[in-house]
Amino acid sequence: MSANLSQPACRGALLTLLRRLHFYIGLFVGPFIFIASLSGALYVLTPQLESALYHQALRTQEIGPQQPLARQIAAARHYIGEDARIYAVRPAPKPGDTTRVQFVEAGLGESESRAIFVAPATLAIQGDMTVYGTSGVLPLRTWIDQFHRSLLLGNAGRLYSELAASWLWIAALGGIVLWLTSRPKRKLKVRKTPQKKARHWHITLGAALLLGLLFFSVTGLTWSQWAGGNIDKMRSSLGWMTPQVNTTLTPGNEPSLKDPHAEHHTMMPGMAMPAVDDQMWDRVLAAARASGIESNKVEIRPARAMNKAWTVTEIDRAWPTHVDSAAVDPHSFKVIDRTFFADFPLIAKLTRWGIDAHMGVLFGLPNQILLAAFGFGLCAMIILGYRMWWLKRPASSAASPAQTLSEAWHALPGIWRTAVLIIAALFGYCLPVMGASLLLFIAADAVRWRKSTLKLQVS
């Protein structure tokens, strides 16, 4: 290929390359994006359904003076067994709510605990079920969340969501570029065929959802297995991790850093914990309240080792965000460290808000409605993309080599071919699942290009 390839020809080759890549993403990755989008939309719509479904556990008709936490915890321990280890306690945030006493139990999954729901006034046991993560979601949302995250296949299944998140932003930006470079300068009256109608609505939805597509791609990648690890390394090297209270009782340690996705990390069922007196819970909570922990929604966790402090953390992710935390010495009941969201670095705040917006909890119902509309809109856009392909597909199996990535790449001048390879290698390194799937795209495309080239030579 001549190095003096004209600018229009080079531009045409680049657009052909982008068009074929956009097609491959839609054809092969589209189903995974569809599943992630649909399951995500269903996830954000379930809080109200869960409130109704598990109403008996979450709410109590017996409203009166609350018993001390010690007595509520003793009631839960009596119900489940005196030797059970407590993972965390969530006091009832308002009258009519129940208190959650969460126990570590063998056989539970990642980030799961067994929650006993206690009526604060009467100490009656209102419910007993498994809860998941910092959000404390109940079984229905846990099932949808795990399906959204890994298709219920564990860590191996997480590759599907990482594949979807890795390619989503490229599909979105590539589609916009293709539309901007191919639309006519003036509108011409043409007959609206089914294919043109599908294309019109596919483009319209893509433009309307563009910012959301980019947002969910980026925030989804932070949860991913491989790309997420690279993102955490980058954030750590740049000092962008979220501050966390220092729980070490010995003086002189610097505050540690916290992964904002800690709710998804494994809770070890058999982890060793110091002996805990039920009377300590009230005193720890009182110390934290005195230090500035004001939210009604808090989680208290006992020390995980003899030289560690207890923690009291706000867990209200609505606006304004309440995620302040305090570390309390279980011997002197003094607060040894505190973190306030107002003092977080800007990047840490944006990370927290991004994650909560992705989960549909940042602004409550408006956030849920917006995310559901986005999710169903993305599903419709993918269906329209498949309809476009089906209506426009060639009548025969014969295909031109110009319709392949390989031919489009070979049509570029040498410097552009090198640039494309460097960019692909860079993205493949940062987003390993994207890199591996790109190699599969190229392999399949090269076989198709080779076969179609041989057909032309024979003919």
Distance (Å, whole) CA 168 – CA 324: 34
Are residues 261 and 223 in contact, defined by beta-carbon separation less than 8 angstroms?
A: yes
The pLDDT, as a whole number, for residue 18 is 94
Q: Helix/strand/coil (H, E, C) string of 232-282?
A: HHHHHHCCCCEECCCCECCCCCCCCEECCCHHHCCCCCCCCCCCCCCCHHH
Q: Helix/strand/coil (H, E, C) string of 298-321?
A: EEEECCCCCCECEEEEECECCCCC
Q: Tell me if residue 397 falls in helix, strand or coil.
A: coil
Edge to edge, what strands does the sheet with 125-132 contain? 125-132, 112-118, 99-104, 85-90, 298-301, 310-314, 325-328, 335-339
Q: Which has more confidence, 68 or 268?
A: 68
Which helix (H) or strand (E) covers residue 326, if one does? strand 325-328
Pair of tokens at residue 163: 């594949």
Q: Where are the domains of the chain?
A: 7-44+152-224+365-458, 57-137+241-344
Region 24-35 average pLDDT? 96
* pLDDT tens, residue by residue, 386-402: 999 999 876 655 544 44
Confidence band, pLDDT 50/70/90 cuts, at residue 453: confident
The pLDDT, as a whole number, for residue 276 is 79
Mean pLDDT for the chain? 89
The pLDDT, as a whole number, for residue 256 is 52
Region 1-13 average pLDDT? 71
Q: Does residue 50 carry a pLDDT above 90?
A: yes
Global confidence as pTM: 0.89
Distance (Å, whole) CA 273 – CA 401: 65
Region 71-90 average pLDDT? 95
* pLDDT tens, residue by residue, 225-278: 999 999 999 988 888 889 999 999 976 444 455 555 544 444 444 444 566 788
Q: Which DSSP category does 57 fall into?
A: H
Q: Which residue has the tokens 């017996």?
A: 62
Distance (Å, whole) CA 80 – CA 74: 10
Lowest mean pLDDT among 170-179, 251-260, 364-373, 433-442: 251-260
Confidence band, pLDDT 50/70/90 cuts, at residue 459: low
Beta bridge partners, 338, equal 326
* pLDDT tens, residue by residue, 117-129: 999 999 999 999 9
The pLDDT, as a whole number, for residue 239 is 83
First-to-last CA distance in the chain? 23
Pair of tokens at residue 401: 């080599």
Confidence band, pLDDT 50/70/90 cuts, at residue 405: confident
Region 64-83 average pLDDT? 95
Region 282-291 average pLDDT? 97
Region 337-350 average pLDDT? 94
The pLDDT, as a whole number, for residue 66 is 92
Which helix (H) or strand (E) covers residue 438, if one does? helix 432-458
Tell me the percentage of the chain whose pLDDT exceeds 90.
Answer: 72
